[in-house]
Amino acid sequence: MSELIRLENISKSFEDTNVLNNINLTINENEFVTLLGPSGCGKTTTLRIIGGFVQPDSGRVYFDGKDITDLPPNKRNVNTVFQNYALFPHMTVGENIAFGLRVSGKPEQYIKDKIKYALNLVNLNGFENRRIDRMSGGQQQRIAMARAIVNEPRVLLLDEPLGALDLKLRQEMQYELVRLKNELGITFIYVTHDQEEALTMSDTVVVMNNGLIQQMGTPEEIYNEPENAFVADFIGDSNILSGRMVRDKLVNINGVDFPCIDGSDNGFLPGREVDVVIRPEDIDIVPPGQGILNGTIISKLFIGVHYEMLVKSETGSGFEWLLQNYDSYDVGEKIGMYVKPENIQIMHKPKSEAEQAIELDL
């Protein structure tokens, strides 16, 4: 894939608050990129800088190799779908979709053809004469997409467009967005704080916090190989602990030695303090005495397809481990716990909470 957008050393402050701190980001053509992070992390500001709605304090924005930092939004080959859709309630569906085309002076027959094309893409054939205020939230979201699509942008910016929808409709729209992206062959840049949305739809996930990019990669890389404790904690459920390397491929966690696959080749020298992530689904339940740890189940919840349990360790300072398992065990039952070495993720401790952690392990 070829580079389409590049953000180079982008910083932005609002009054005394630093929102973005020297961001560098490359987005390829025909890629579905999600900016993911908690409220206030800088993801929406990044999106608005790409769209031209916000000017960076420093740094440059490049589109297809050209500097567009100072171009206004209407001069950029991008369209935006906002969280509130920004539709005109007094207009019909067709009039909303046609609005940008009419402002551009397109011929009426061209506009009619484009309306039909866009409504077909979003599965709303025959709705062009309906009033917006008589459409459901999911239908309005599709209309906002159709209005953006008819302008044939090379990039579509989506600012939490599914946030107002209920869970079932939101999940359906996730698949619709992926379908649209594949059919249209354009670049999608999507902003959300919802981890499931990011993992479900994206080619690339950019995890942000404190105005910094913490990690970027495929959904599988982000989930299975988090580069710091923030990413591990934000993406899915995790057991996050402090550890100390004993030697190559052996880490001590709360006084208990765990075989792992990392060592000095990865920069984890003996005696080094590290962060350790173990996903709850990666802890195998075995008979007591046959694992690395023994523990007692202190709580259990049924979460649809699996059980979620808290297990208090008999060793290791009584740490309460989060486990997920398809089998049911009783509260008060004693179990053994085993973790395969490849399921133990060792990470460098950051030098500070705000350290940018987009570096690979040494």
The model's pTM: 0.82
The reply to whether 229 falls in a domain is no
| Judgement on whether residues 245 and 266 belong to the same structural domain of the protein | yes
Candidate from 114-118, 169-173, 335-339, 353-357 with smallest mean pLDDT: 353-357
What pLDDT shows up at residue 361? 32
pLDDT at 362 over 90: no
What pLDDT shows up at residue 20? 95
| Judgement on whether residues 130 and 248 belong to the same structural domain of the protein | no
CATH at 316: 2.40.50.140
| Judgement on whether residues 241 and 140 belong to the same structural domain of the protein | no
| Judgement on whether residues 216 and 309 belong to the same structural domain of the protein | no
pLDDT at 353 over 90: no
| Judgement on whether residues 109 and 162 belong to the same structural domain of the protein | yes
What pLDDT shows up at residue 278? 95
Number of domains in the chain: 3
| Judgement on whether residues 15 and 131 belong to the same structural domain of the protein | yes
The reply to whether 24 falls in a domain is yes
pLDDT at 337 over 50: yes
What pLDDT shows up at residue 356? 41
Candidate from 78-87, 136-145, 335-344 with smallest mean pLDDT: 78-87
The reply to whether 231 falls in a domain is no
| Judgement on whether residues 204 and 330 belong to the same structural domain of the protein | no
**Quick one: angle between helices 167-184 and 108-121, nearest 10?**
130
What pLDDT shows up at residue 354? 47
The reply to whether 181 falls in a domain is yes
The reply to whether 119 falls in a domain is yes
Q: To the nearest whole percent, how much of the chain has pLDDT over 70?
A: 95
CATH at 245: 2.40.50
| Judgement on whether residues 331 and 315 belong to the same structural domain of the protein | yes
| Judgement on whether residues 184 and 275 belong to the same structural domain of the protein | no
**Segment 253-274, tens digit of pLDDT:** 999 999 999 988 888 999 999 9
The reply to whether 201 falls in a domain is yes
pLDDT at 287 over 70: yes
Range of the domain at 268: 237-282+339-349+358-362
Across the range 291-302, mean pLDDT stands at 95
CATH at 139: 3.40.50.300
The reply to whether 68 falls in a domain is yes
Q: Give the residue with greater pLDDT, 162 vs 126.
A: 126
Across the range 318-345, mean pLDDT stands at 95
Across the range 300-308, mean pLDDT stands at 92
